[in-house]
Structure 1
Amino acid sequence: MKWISARRAACLLPLLSLPVAATDLQELEKQVMEAERAFAKTMADRDLEGFKRFVAEDAVFSSGKSLRGKQQVVEAWKAFYAKPTPPFSWKPESVEVLESGKLALSRGPVYDPKGKQVARFHSIWRLEAPNTWRVVFDFGVDVCDCKAAEEAGKPS
């Protein structure tokens, strides 16, 4: 077996960072969309073990106080999986993948148990192995009832 020389290897290194082709990006976006849907399904199925598989070891989840690391995230989220009925649900609306093909952003609505939108989520996914995406950053933003807020601000 021939070994590649250090000089040749150095010449090939820039090729490793070339942007992913548009069709490959579409495939990666599809993978992340499917991963996000499966991630959300863990809540509907009350599957904490499944949830764990989607969280990166160095993840940061933030909706107020930041949770750092998989262990802290899972420990805090146990409460969401404890009862028979999910306290909320979410679904992805859009996914964007960096041209490197290594990071992706998913976004979408978060619903209360009655189906009313109460927040929006934003998750950053990292490709950790072929076809294996994990969440590295996750944060939610409450949805403002702008009409009610506007009405509350009007003088009577």
Structure 2
Amino acid sequence: GRVQTIFSDHDNLQRLLPQADLVIGAVLVAGARAPTLVSKADLPRMEPGTVLVDVAVDQGGCIETARPTTHDDPTYVLDGVVHYCVANMPGAVAQTSTFALNNTTRAYAIALADAGVEAACGRDPALRLGLNTWRGAVTHPAVAESLGHPYVSPSLH
């Protein structure tokens, strides 16, 4: 076997889709719908049996033909291409994914508990970027746009 990873740009994708055995779409635009990287028109160019995995299906999918599936019924075939679009893929390994999530978020939770939202977000730019709402306002531009609410820059002082 051979694995090749590429930067996901339109030209690379179009060039490599016809020869790919597996395409994993893992796009996240925080608070917004994922952009479409693979269109329905691309499917006939792919070999039968090619597998598309849409990790972004929870955010609307980055594959036009993606629709959420379940762990019990994870795949469907469209135009000869196998689609795996399980929402909440980490749920298949719940304990492992929980440990990973806890290890990643613990420091943020401790900072919030120790200092409060205003002080913690004031000290940590990464934590502030994760602030989606504050005092009844939507403070994340992509979340505001996706919900049709006005964006308000958070005033933390």
Q: Fold conserved (TM > 0.5)?
A: no
Higher strand share: 1
Q: Compute the TM-score of the two structures, normalised by the length of structure 1.
A: 0.32
Output the TM-score relative to the length of structure 2.
Answer: 0.32
The one of the two structures with greater contact order (alpha-carbon pairs below 8 A, sep at least 6) is 1
